[in-house]
Amino acid sequence: MSEVHHGRGYVYSIQYHLVWCVKYRDNILHGDIDTYVKKLLNQIALDNDSQIIKMESDKDHIHLLIECKPQHYIPNIMKAFKGVSARFLLKEYPELKKRLWGGHLWNPSYFVATVSENTDEQIRHYIQHQKKK
């Protein structure tokens, strides 16, 4: 169950399930690259005053369960997650530019769903089990 937070004059509990894919669904999210992108995403969340509750990847896509404040605007959150992570990943692993011609790491689209207390545990379980055995 998600926590209830208090702001100035409001009480909230907001969670989103976010999913996005690598450009061309290329299988690059494994080993050091997978570890590095997860580290980056956690830092990006902290820098943007949000929290990643659950995160997993499976070679060509990423799932996040995040918690944020009512002031957050999802397109801005996604721009931060995708834009900043792409910039740092392509700098750290320049060979990715050759695999993903055009210099774009992420597919431009994404999925977002709000999470309620009724779906919270289902989504946590789903994200946790994203890696194929």
Quote the CA–CA distance of 10 and 16 in Å, as a whole number: 19
Torsions phi, psi for 100 (to 5 deg): -110, 70
Structure-token pair, residue 11: 């009480």
Catalytic residue check, 110? no
CB 102 within 8 A of CB 18: no
- Residues 12, 24, 110, 126: which is the catalytic one? 126
As annotated, the active-site residues are: 126
